[in-house]
Amino acid sequence: MKMLNLFIVSDSIGETGELVAKAAVSQFRPGLQHTKFKRFTHIDSLDHIKEITELAKEQGAIILYTLVQTKMRQALVEYCNLYNLESVDLIGPVINLFEKELNEKPFEEPGLVRKLDEDYFKKIEAIEFAVKYDDGRDPRGLLQADIILIGVSRTSKTPLSQYLANKRFKVANVPLVPEVEPPEQLFQVDPAKCVGLVITPEKLNSIRKERLKAIGLNDDASYAKIERINEEILHFEKIAKKIGCKVIDVTNRAVEETANLVINHIQQK
């Protein structure tokens, strides 16, 4: 069986080119036997192109390439013609078609799709992190978080955590209750990463009453009483002062507005 020698040339990591090459080879050799794949990645100079084509000439290789810059593709074609090499442009024809269809010039910036993928997975990771470390579920997450939110119940810690997660921040939040000691990890983190959320007793009283009604309970429970709320807020202020963290009043703020304040604080620090 004849040996197939393939050079995958890319201005990024060459993953796309290799996947296409393997998909095609598998139609002839399902186990990819008697086939050599060699990736040449992050190719960004004409000298690289010349060296690769010279090596391909020596080894009798076929070149498959994903180069987004026109000058690089043209140089590769010229050298392949010079050395009588077989080559396949895997992305150029598509870029040319889209340029004609959209009447726009391509960015010709290598690795853009990789950046999009990385951004997407970072977002998913942050969302999963926010769910895992929501409501003080596992205090170990505090040491790994980009942002830590603290506050009494019903100060929008969870929706704010999810909103920030969609902005690629890993967020953990901790509810503060007078009867429960805060986790020790809360006092080990950088105070600049911690943000306290506070709300006026009157507003919190209204929110908690509505919450109790929504779950079918009487709205005069201790949870919604002003005396209890004041006690919780005093406890919150004591903990926030001990940590030395920034405190944001969320009384009349939408989640988006609070999130912007949190992000600005984190970026400044």
- Which residues participate in the annotated binding site for ADP? 151-158
Distance CA 18, CA 33 (A): 15
Measure CA of the first residue to CA of the last residue in the chain; give whole Å.
Answer: 63
> Where are the extended beta strands (E) located within the chain?
4-10, 35-40, 62-66, 87-89, 147-151, 171-175, 194-198, 246-249
Map residue 150 onto helix, strand or coil. strand
Q: Which residues are annotated as a binding site?
A: 151-158
Token reading at 147 = 């942002």
Distance CA 192, CA 198 (A): 17
Unique residue bearing structure tokens 């079918």: 216
Question: What does the angle CA 261 – CA 262 – CA 267 come to, to the nearest 5 degrees?
Answer: 100
Distance CA 110, CA 48 (A): 15
CA 179 to chain centre: 37
Distance CA 80, CA 76 (A): 6
Sheet holding 35-40, edge to edge: 35-40, 4-10, 62-66, 87-89
Q: Which residues pair with 196 in a beta bridge?
A: 150, 247
Distance CA 79, CA 47 (A): 11
